[in-house]
Amino acid sequence: MKNERIGFVGLGMMGLPMARNLVDDGYAVTVFDLNDVTVNLAKEFGATSEDSAATVASKSDIAITMVPDSEHVEAVIAGPNGILEGLNAGSVVIDMSTIDPEIGKKMANLIEAKGSSFIDAPVTGGVGGAEAGTLSILVGGNAEIFERALPVLNVLGGDVSHMGPVGSGHTTKIANQLIAVATLAGIAEAFVLAKKSGLDMQAFFDAVKNGAGRSWALETLGPKILEGDFTPGFMVKHMQKDLRLAGQLGADTGTALPTSTLIAQLYRSVQADGPEATSQGHQALVQAIEKLSNEQARI
């Protein structure tokens, strides 16, 4: 058994396989989530559970949060029965969610006042990366605390980068998402144009997948689009949230973000299809281009 006791708060599509990887690597992992189903799944693979984030923190040397948005991080850390209530002095809290960098800094101040430490460590790589332990992890925080957390992060990711002080990880993730979503928008337009121009879609994909437009999105999401597979590895609503965070950061820094602003509106078109539309995989962005073009980019 590894020396550091791990707490894990948030067992969603990403958090559950991440917690499993830690258990499989020999860590004692204590979990909390509002969803009893995922808690029971975690217990099946060897985690123990508690009934609050505070209790998880009290039994952990390193507490990890992996929840959807800024308000959820605030709630599980600083809210009633939150991590702060049970945190032991000398512990480390790692937020692996994608949130407003300013909220991360606020949480860091509260945690440091309790004699503990905080790093932000959002991830990229989707559910597949979480399951395989190959996530890219973008870390902000004190260098010494980063080194302490690194063995744990190396279990969860294949590429761990220390980006600077607290907030740097969250900021890097937001900027990363702009690259990812702009690439996806280009793929969506190219696929619909190719289809509407009469090209064989499998031949088109095979011809361009290793060319100048090669990307993770093309290799991973391209086949899904061509097959009409919109099951989520990363949901539309989560990309919408990340684009909102980018817009806030752009406003705070005086940065023009015309491309991502337009893409956010395209996702609104996808959202207009109904309540379940935003639970699709974010490759559903192509649906907005398909609507405007009256053509589906399928094989």
What is the reported pLDDT for 238?
A: 97
| Distance between start and end Cα atoms, the chain | 50
Q: For the domain made up of 171-293, give the CATH fold.
A: N-(1-d-carboxylethyl)-l-norvaline Dehydrogenase; domain 2 (1.10.1040)
pLDDT, tens digit (0-9, with 9 covering 90-100), for 192-225: 999 999 999 999 999 999 999 999 999 999 999 9
What is the reported pLDDT for 2?
A: 80
pLDDT at residue 121 is higher than 90: yes
* Percent residues over pLDDT 70 in the chain: 100
Cα dihedral value 183, 187, 188, 189, nearest 10: 100
What is the mean predicted confidence (pLDDT) over 230-252?
A: 97
| Given the residues 43, 106, 173, 291, the one annotated as active site | 173
Strand 48-49 relative to strand 29-32: parallel, antiparallel, unpaired? parallel
CATH class of 6-165: alpha beta
pLDDT at residue 145 is higher than 70: yes
Contact 201, 297 (CB under 8 A): yes
3-state DSSP assignment of residue 66: coil
Beta strands in the chain (DSSP E): 6-9, 29-32, 48-49, 62-65, 92-95, 117-120, 123-124, 135-140, 157-164
Predicted confidence band of residue 78 (pLDDT cuts 50, 70, 90): very high
State how far the Cα of 17 lies from the Cα of 67, in Å rounded to an integer: 14
What is the mean predicted confidence (pLDDT) over 226-252?
A: 97
Predicted confidence band of residue 168 (pLDDT cuts 50, 70, 90): very high
How is the chain split into domains, by residue range?
Answer: 6-165, 171-293
What is the mean predicted confidence (pLDDT) over 269-282?
A: 97
- Helix ranges restricted to H, 45-136: 53-58, 70-78, 83-86, 101-113, 126-132
State how far the Cα of 92 lies from the Cα of 80, in Å rounded to an integer: 19
What is the mean predicted confidence (pLDDT) over 115-119?
A: 98
* Percent residues over pLDDT 90 in the chain: 99
What's the mean pLDDT when you consider all of the chain? Answer: 97
pLDDT at residue 167 is higher than 90: yes
Cα dihedral value 86, 92, 98, 99, nearest 10: 60
What is the reported pLDDT for 1?
A: 62
State how far the Cα of 17 lies from the Cα of 19, in Å rounded to an integer: 5
pLDDT, tens digit (0-9, with 9 covering 90-100), for 7-52: 999 999 999 999 999 999 999 999 999 999 999 999 999 999 999 9
What is the reported pLDDT for 270?
A: 98
pLDDT at residue 160 is higher than 90: yes
What is the mean predicted confidence (pLDDT) over 229-241?
A: 97
- Same topology between domain 6-165 and domain 171-293: no
Whether residue 173 lies in the annotated active site: yes
* pTM (predicted TM-score): 0.95
